[in-house]
């Protein structure tokens, strides 16, 4: 396998990891917003004077639904924490790969290859 092929393979891997990371972050943002909205709905119940007496009241109906859904919210929070840890792991793997160092090495290889091709052409011309 040539250096160019291994570089392409490595680049694709890094891009896939970055795409996974970006998708994960966007998903987390969305889920966090949902949890935030659910918690806001739950706060309403503690602020209304009628409490739980009127569960079908249009002003607090959603809050009552979220109250019933509190276990799901807790589960979502645990899942979000797990996703954050996973994304952190991806970030650390990307850092560990020392991307900038590999880019510099690859650029040096390309420069050497270019110089060798020029020298080869000069030799070919000189022999002709």
End-to-end CA distance of the chain: 33
Please give the average per-residue pLDDT across 121-126, as a whole number: 84
Q: How confident is the model at residue 55 (pLDDT cuts 50, 70, 90)?
A: low
Burial of 119 per CB tally in 10 Å (0-12, 13-18, 19+):
exposed
Q: How confident is the model at residue 51 (pLDDT cuts 50, 70, 90)?
A: low
- What is the gyration radius of the CA atoms in the chain, in angstroms? 28
């Amino acid at each position: 396998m040539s250096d160019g092929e291994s570089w392409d393979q490595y680049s694709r891997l890094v891009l896939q990891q970055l795409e996974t990371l970006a998708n994960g972050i966007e998903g987390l943002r969305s889920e966090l917003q949902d949890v935030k909205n659910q918690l806001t709905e739950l706060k309403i119940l503690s602020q209304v004077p009628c409490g739980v007496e009127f569960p079908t009241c249009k002003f607090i109906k959603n809050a009552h639904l979220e109250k019933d859904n509190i276990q799901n919210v807790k589960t979502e929070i645990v899942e979000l924490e797990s996703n954050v840890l996973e994304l952190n792991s991806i970030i650390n793997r990307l850092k560990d790969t020392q991307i900038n160092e590999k880019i510099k090495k690859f650029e040096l290889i390309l420069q050497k290859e270019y110089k060798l091709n020029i020298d080869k052409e000069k030799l070919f011309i000189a022999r002709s």
